[in-house]
Amino acid sequence: MEVVVEPGEIIVLDTNIWYHKTLIVSQELSITIGSEYD
């Protein structure tokens, strides 16, 4: 699966369910907030 998030958009997902990789395709600032719940 590939998801493209445009500037100003927000994506929310449960990363405990699947492995993921993040690729930043520009030089602009990108902020990621992560939490782990057991």
CB 26 within 8 A of CB 5: no
**Residue 22 identity (one-letter amino acid):** T
Residue whose entry in the numeric block shows the structure tokens 């902020």:
31
| Of the candidates 9, 22, 1, 4, the residue with the CA atom closest to the CA atom of residue 34 | 22
Query: What pLDDT, on the 0 to 100 scale, is given for residue 28?
Result: 84
**Residue 15 identity (one-letter amino acid):** T
**Confidence band, pLDDT 50/70/90 cuts, at residue 38:** low
CA dist., res. 19 & res. 9, Å (int): 22
Residue-wise pLDDT tens digits, 26-36: 888 877 777 77
